[in-house]
Structure 1
């Protein structure tokens, strides 16, 4: 027995030794492939020329991304938490035929079925909807020519220029591997250690730390294709294109403090909002827009249109709206549809093609490989949600979970036994051909000099923000960098921020209790690998041809509609039923959703004894889940609410988050007992001034509706106005 125990201990010790070797740190060692080959350049994929396409022979890129794609099963490595819906897309009557032969973009009589999926990027399936994060925006078009997948985000740029850096980016932003903390958050050391050494990320960082990263609703955010693609017409002429989705519900966000509280009150806030809107018949709508650039104009801008860290400002190339997407049906099964849907940038149809964007080129490899791991089979296209409505006929056979039963003797071509079928399609028969771009370049790991400007568009973005939006970015940087423990990382970040805007960096530095570095560290711009000449590879700041772009500011694209807005009505027994019903009818006629919030569930009775259904109690409801608050009169109702501390908190918190608040004359007595009342209503306040701040007291419903249409009254965030709630 003792000998056996000793043997077991030896085997256990051997396993522990093996484990120690597997988890040893890489201090002082060269970077290698999994086969031990020392890597000279881990930041540029192998291309045919500096602006050329990525080559399939790049075994270092393939090994790195393949390993990354297979790291987790079955949950998506990124975009794990999502929500989806069915709908359709219909092109407008326009002249897109001169740019593309893709029928779904040119035939206004067609309704193309689609399935859209929205997601956060960094968090797991169990994380919150309200994380500060990029949002995935993917749409599967079931066209008569085959599947077309739009795979984008709610931000038009990305952190990196070359896909070979994507695994590093995600490893850095994910929970730190030693303790799996923090979840769904970029506010930690490893992310900013990476970002502070990658100046190309600074433009995207401005977007991430803006209000775009905390949308009010999935229905109220823009979508972007990020990359530059090509459209091809019947004559074979190509036009560069950038894709945009413009929401007809408007573009809105929540406040950061509000987002944190919503995460506690309802972490499914966005998913529930999308589901309920569709169930209520308030179908979300987006218009598809395109920015079209002729091949002759490819190099006319002060940035490279193939650089995914850059936008094409709408002032330079306007967005033309060419069609509309409507989501009108919720999934029947979350798993079978939303979870199993598989998107791929490489799923395109005749009339569309790719460019040599190195981030796009790497992603083209990644998606199929990811689906093989996640869905477990090369036959993932046979899962109902992924099936093409166009006939699928080829010689690919068998494999795990094969559904199709093929008949016949041949599974190859050319053949004579089956008269050569299935045959290749000619171009005139709808056969897909790649655009014949001439390439004459050296095989090289490098990056074009036109990709070296990392700051001018970050400056453009910051300058385009309203004062309120700029303050939100500053607060976000203070929060995020305040979570970073290593001072050297914070100092590197201040150095990069100093190259964007002097006011920005000074205010961030003040919040961190640090000084702006007199000579910022210049992280190496990895344009030619480890052998690069630092003097030639440092980041540069170009000059933008425009100083501000109104299209970048959410404050400039506010919709006046209040359709689907959630309005909380605070009431108790004895409420003025006539006033409540008048306001409720006006709000519902304008398309808003009205919910009665009371001390208890069940029903309350108005001053005439009529029963009123209660939607939620104060225990469940919270102001952060609503867009505006209304308090009707009724002495008994107001007296009851004055005994509810949650009622005061509800009002004060709504005020803090800059939301419209309406109150009838008697209800003003309730407000006087709140912090809001003591700060704002003391003395004899100017009524017109109150309305300008979103406080609609003893006014007709139309005034309140107008206030709701303005979304928020951000002036309340000024230091002299702000107060805790």
Structure 2
């Protein structure tokens, strides 16, 4: 991260133009006489206005509102059997970290306490380059088919005609895509309104792969568990704070760090062998499913601590650019289609918002030297000097292979197909477990209430009935309680295919496997 600027109580700096020329009076503008027109020669005044007109960069389409801080990640346990990433070579290794928390659907001025998933993005500066873990505060998500994402986000934002949030859009989409129900139930529990950004857990959601120096590898899911616990607000508390202090999350994070009450998380992984993945009841590539802890226990790997507030929010948090594609040797992506789409979408967004050289900004720049053939473009202030911009025999670069050979398990053979996942009974097993075995009576009542006060705003009886049928597929009592709360008729469960008709997760282990 950039070095922290220290401003003395009495700043002796001389006021200047952007090119460094001293200016006697910043409020003065050159003109002809006391009452004449302004002069085009007044660079200071024109530069002031021209810069002001360009102060705002495009906000993120999602995760627009956020808070952030700096700190460190420390390796606390030996996991060299899992990964050969240099960061994890030795217990005690540390990497400087920048973290940005965010809401997902709201604009940059929206309330921090809105009922919404939260982004939990971590940039670790390692000796092998930047490692970004771009996670959420929930272990699952609404979709598993990547082409659905733009449609989903549109329905969570504003109607194109009225420019208002629309409950019919919101629930129409969710009721037509029942695989979202697990995330919907988490979102409408009190977990959907965390008490500040720094009092929540973080989850990879996606499956990644850790590879050791022998080339052996494991599917992994990564968990950041808040050391002081996951604290939540109920619906009414969150709504009141949205009006009283919409920046509650930013403020509480900043003040916790300023008072040296440093937020911290213990970091764990769940691991699964390729063979276990083949026999697992759910696909490891399905972002709507969790891995039960009883089958795949949490294994501690490290600690994240935030102990430094940014000196300049825009430079260090707004310009911070995270992407799951920023990985290092020893960590690989899985074939999760949503993850694969994010590998493209995130850097593409940064190129749009910040420019093609976004990785040269101080908050994004790796701590290792950069040597490649990328040159020029806007704001190329680290343009690699006289080094040739092609693979030169006169001044060749050195090349370093990954310390392991290509992975053996995932060999995909088949025809090109346009695939859309189907809904089966498997999609309701984990939400049913959440309702019947995880939530106590109080949290069940809160979930029903939180759904009801939102769903009741949908004008379409068809949309309400369809969403109630999705809840009924989880548990009839859950659906009936929501129906009663919104004054709607009870409905029958949504009819879906049995679990036996779900497409199993299969890859090629020493044989051709066609889909």
Aligned ranges for residues 687-706 of structure 1 at < 5 Å?
Answer: none
Cα distance in 2 between the residues matched to 1:407 and 1:339: 28
- The structural deviation recorded for 1:365 is 1.2
How much is the aligned-residue C-alpha RMSD, in angstroms? 1.9
Aligned counterpart in structure 2 of residue 342 of structure 1, from 304, 315, 321: 321
Aligned ranges for residues 24-43 of structure 1 at < 5 Å?
Answer: none
Matched-pair contact (CA < 8 Å) for 1:456–1:541: no
Aligned counterpart in structure 2 of residue 242 of structure 1, from 221, 224, 243: 221
Give yes or no for the alignment of 1:176 onto 2:159.
yes
User: Which residue is equivalent to 1:118?
Assistant: 101
User: Which residue is equivalent to 1:102?
Assistant: 85
Q: Deviations over 1:301-322 (max 9, x none)?
A: 2211110000011122111121
Matched-pair contact (CA < 8 Å) for 2:207–2:336: yes
Give yes or no for the alignment of 1:381 onto 2:354.
no
SS of the residue corresponding to residue 243 of structure 2 reads helix
Aligned counterpart in structure 2 of residue 446 of structure 1, from 413, 416, 419: 419
Matched-pair contact (CA < 8 Å) for 2:219–2:273: yes
Aligned ranges for residues 465-476 of structure 1 at < 5 Å?
Answer: 465-476=439-450
Cα distance in 2 between the residues matched to 1:434 and 1:210: 43
User: Which residue is equivalent to 2:239?
Assistant: 260
User: Which residue is equivalent to 1:403?
Assistant: 381
Aligned ranges for residues 151-166 of structure 1 at < 5 Å?
Answer: 151-166=134-149
Q: Give the 3 Å change call, closer, same or farther, for CA 359–426 of structure 1 in structure 2.
A: closer
Cα distance in 1 between the residues matched to 2:186 and 2:497: 20
Cα distance in 2 between the residues matched to 1:77 and 1:348: 23
Give yes or no for the alignment of 1:485 onto 2:442.
no
Matched-pair contact (CA < 8 Å) for 2:67–2:101: yes
Cα distance in 2 between the residues matched to 1:451 and 1:360: 22
Q: Which has the higher contact order (CA 8 A, sep 6+)?
A: 2
User: Which residue is equivalent to 2:20?
Assistant: none
Give yes or no for the alignment of 1:145 onto 2:128.
yes
Give yes or no for the alignment of 1:412 onto 2:378.
no
- The structure with more helix, counted as a fraction of residues: 1
Cα distance in 1 between the residues matched to 2:320 and 2:429: 38
Q: Give the 3 Å change call, closer, same or farther, for CA 483–449 of structure 1 in structure 2.
A: closer
Matched-pair contact (CA < 8 Å) for 2:205–2:221: yes
SS of the residue corresponding to residue 349 of structure 1 reads coil
- The structural deviation recorded for 1:541 is 5.3
Aligned ranges for residues 547-562 of structure 1 at < 5 Å?
Answer: none
User: Which residue is equivalent to 2:46?
Assistant: none
- The structural deviation recorded for 1:289 is 0.7
Structure 2 residues not aligned, in runs of 5+: 1-55, 502-515
Which deviates the most, 286-295 or 314-323? 314-323
Aligned counterpart in structure 1 of residue 58 of structure 2, from 46, 68, 74: 74
Aligned counterpart in structure 2 of residue 499 of structure 1, from 467, 473, 485: 473
User: Which residue is equivalent to 2:52?
Assistant: none
Q: Give the 3 Å change call, closer, same or farther, for CA 435–367 of structure 1 in structure 2.
A: farther
Cα distance in 2 between the residues matched to 1:82 and 1:396: 31
SS of the residue corresponding to residue 455 of structure 1 reads helix
SS of the residue corresponding to residue 204 of structure 1 reads helix
Aligned ranges for residues 156-235 of structure 1 at < 5 Å?
Answer: 156-182=139-165, 188-235=167-214
Q: Deviations over 1:143-162 (max 9, x none)?
A: 11100000010001010111
User: Which residue is equivalent to 1:423?
Assistant: 398
Cα distance in 2 between the residues matched to 1:451 and 1:233: 36
Cα distance in 1 between the residues matched to 2:405 and 2:257: 39
Matched-pair contact (CA < 8 Å) for 1:304–1:451: no
The two structures have a TM-score, normalised by structure 1, of 0.59
Cα distance in 1 between the residues matched to 2:425 and 2:443: 27
Cα distance in 2 between the residues matched to 1:272 and 1:121: 18
- The structural deviation recorded for 1:361 is 1.2
User: Which residue is equivalent to 1:393?
Assistant: 371
User: Which residue is equivalent to 1:456?
Assistant: 429
Q: Which protein shows a greater Rg?
A: 1
Q: Give the 3 Å change call, closer, same or farther, for CA 444–275 of structure 1 in structure 2.
A: same
Paired residues in the alignment total 444
- The structural deviation recorded for 1:262 is 1.0
SS of the residue corresponding to residue 218 of structure 2 reads strand
Q: Give the 3 Å change call, closer, same or farther, for CA 209–249 of structure 1 in structure 2.
A: same
Cα distance in 2 between the residues matched to 1:406 and 1:320: 42
Q: Give the 3 Å change call, closer, same or farther, for CA 120–409 of structure 1 in structure 2.
A: closer
- The structural deviation recorded for 1:258 is 0.9
Cα distance in 2 between the residues matched to 1:450 and 1:392: 46
Cα distance in 2 between the residues matched to 1:326 and 1:542: 45
Cα distance in 1 between the residues matched to 2:383 and 2:220: 40
Cα distance in 2 between the residues matched to 1:359 and 1:521: 26
User: Which residue is equivalent to 1:27?
Assistant: none
- The structural deviation recorded for 1:73 is 6.0
Q: Give the 3 Å change call, closer, same or farther, for CA 292–177 of structure 1 in structure 2.
A: same
Cα distance in 1 between the residues matched to 2:96 and 2:301: 17
- The structural deviation recorded for 1:488 is 0.8
User: Which residue is equivalent to 1:54?
Assistant: none
Q: Deviations over 1:453-510 (max 9, x none)?
A: 3211111121211111111111111111111111110010111111001110110011
SS of the residue corresponding to residue 142 of structure 1 reads strand
Aligned counterpart in structure 1 of residue 300 of structure 2, from 277, 297, 321: 321
Cα distance in 1 between the residues matched to 2:86 and 2:128: 8
Cα distance in 2 between the residues matched to 1:117 and 1:452: 36
The two structures have a TM-score, normalised by structure 2, of 0.83
Matched-pair contact (CA < 8 Å) for 1:139–1:150: yes
Q: Give the 3 Å change call, closer, same or farther, for CA 309–451 of structure 1 in structure 2.
A: farther
- The structural deviation recorded for 1:451 is 7.5
Q: Deviations over 1:373-401 (max 9, x none)?
A: 111x2100000000000111111111111
User: Which residue is equivalent to 1:293?
Assistant: 272
- The structural deviation recorded for 1:435 is 3.5
